[in-house]
Amino acid sequence: MKIKKTFLILLSVLLLTGCLPSKSVEENAIVQIVGYDVGEDERIQGTVSIPQYGKSEDKQAASELYLTVDADSTKDVEVEIQKQSSKPISIGKLAVTLYSKELAETDLGDIVDVLSRDPRLSRNMFLGIVEGSSRELIESGFTQDETTSKHLQGLIENNTRHNFPSTSLHDFLYAYYAEGMDPFLPMLKKRESFVELSGVAFFKKGMLVAEVPDTKIFTFKMLKENFTRGMQDLPFEGGTIMMDNIGSKVDYNISGPMDNPTFDIKISLKAEVNEMAGVDRNASPQLAKEMEDKFVEYFNKETAELISLFKEKGIDPLGIGNFTKTRRKDFDLTKWQGHYADLEVNVIVDVQITEYGIFS
């Protein structure tokens, strides 16, 4: 009897599954990337790229359809785009969302709220800020062998394995809603024939308030998280040395009373020197020690400048306040924010050069 009931249940499931509507990729307009700019009359301009899948077997070239609309909100962008599409719009595969710097400076708060509430969107989706027009970047057609979204997704993902800190919708939302922490996003810039990651944009809630160039990103990531890989160059004795990170660890600690605390950030960095150009000296323990001291001096200066910038703008992308909240029962966010600008932050950097690579 039990076997018969089980058989009937399985049969019912199979029959119901067969009745579900199924549509192929060719029957949907699958949006994989969307960009937002400031539109006319205080509206938002939205641009999407939709891959075009033909029936031929030749899929070497990436063909895309670009659609641009003006709308009152990001949700309305999807509605207006649908009016221009001959196929149902699907955003479940959205991989990259871009915002122009101009739009981000006006506050992305409402847009972030929409992102956090839409169950169709993957929390692994990448967000980015565009220096200039996101529409122009999406429509640039700089790659012939892959779609724009695939290219930019790979660009951001690859760089987060190196110098750039981890950035995704999940990371952004976590920092946005957390107490004592502020979000950041990568900045992208279109060159003549390619797109590059040009820096990092820092937010105070949903408003872009500060940015740093790519030359400072290694230092920021070193302050923010443990990581391997990544490279940093440094002028040295009239030439240049290139350091390859093989293991960086950061440790936070707070001491003293909450009305006058001291925050210590200890960084331990192990590295290889894989290039030394324009320096006429042979490798030796003495040279390694001098290079270590030079890098410590460099990182002390760079970390001090970044922390000074964060205090000046009233932002906490390192999550110092959030760390303190988890360690102190008497943490009060309002009081913390009032003392943040005067917080004593000590950064202690230790650099060990373990190996030498090729010198030129």
Under the banding of pLDDT at 50, 70 and 90, the label for residue 19 is: very low
Under the banding of pLDDT at 50, 70 and 90, the label for residue 21 is: very low
Alpha-carbon distances of 354 from 120, 227, 244, rounded to whole Å = 47, 17, 11
Alpha-carbon distances of 60 from 51, 153, 193, rounded to whole Å = 13, 19, 20
Mean pLDDT across the stretch 45-68? Answer: 74
pLDDT of 20 reads 41
Helix-, strand-, coil-residue percentages of the chain, each rounded to 5: 35, 30, 30
pLDDT of 160 reads 87
pLDDT of 338 over the 60 cut: yes
Q: Report the C-alpha gap between 210 and 289 in whole angstroms.
A: 35
pLDDT of 86 reads 77
Under the banding of pLDDT at 50, 70 and 90, the label for residue 3 is: low
Mean pLDDT across the stretch 329-341? Answer: 92
Q: Of the candidates 327, 31, 5, 355, which has an alpha carbon nearest to the alpha carbon of residue 180?
A: 327
What does the pLDDT look like over 299-316, one tens digit per residue? 999 999 999 999 999 999
Greatest mean pLDDT range, 141-150, 330-339, 349-358: 330-339
What does the pLDDT look like over 195-235, one tens digit per residue? 999 999 999 989 999 999 999 999 999 999 999 888 999 88
Alpha-carbon distances of 174 from 119, 158, 198, 200, 269, rounded to whole Å = 16, 22, 24, 17, 27
Contact residues for 3 (Cβ-Cβ < 8 A; gap 6+)? none
| Token pair in block for residue 326 | 């988890």
Q: Report the C-alpha gap between 257 and 261 in whole angstroms.
A: 5
| Token pair in block for residue 203 | 């937010």
pLDDT of 101 over the 80 cut: yes
Under the banding of pLDDT at 50, 70 and 90, the label for residue 89 is: confident
Q: Report the C-alpha gap between 168 and 97 in whole angstroms.
A: 10
The DSSP secondary structure of 283-339, one letter per residue, reads --HHHHHHHHHHHHHHHHHHHHHHHHHHHHHT--TT-HHHHHHHH-TT--HHHHHHH
| Token pair in block for residue 191 | 């060159």
Q: What is the mean pLDDT of the chain?
A: 86
Going by the DSSP 8-state scheme, the letter that residue 121 receives in this structure is: S
pLDDT of 29 reads 79
What does the pLDDT look like over 108-153, one tens digit per residue? 988 888 888 888 888 899 999 999 999 999 998 766 577 888 889 9
Give the up-direction half-sphere exposure of residue 144: CA atoms within 13 A in the CB hemisphere. Answer: 1
Under the banding of pLDDT at 50, 70 and 90, the label for residue 78 is: confident
The full set of domains in the chain, from first to last, is 24-212 (no CATH), 226-360 (3.30.300.210)
pLDDT of 144 reads 58
Contact residues for 24 (Cβ-Cβ < 8 A; gap 6+)? none
pLDDT of 48 over the 60 cut: yes
Mean pLDDT across the stretch 348-358? Answer: 83
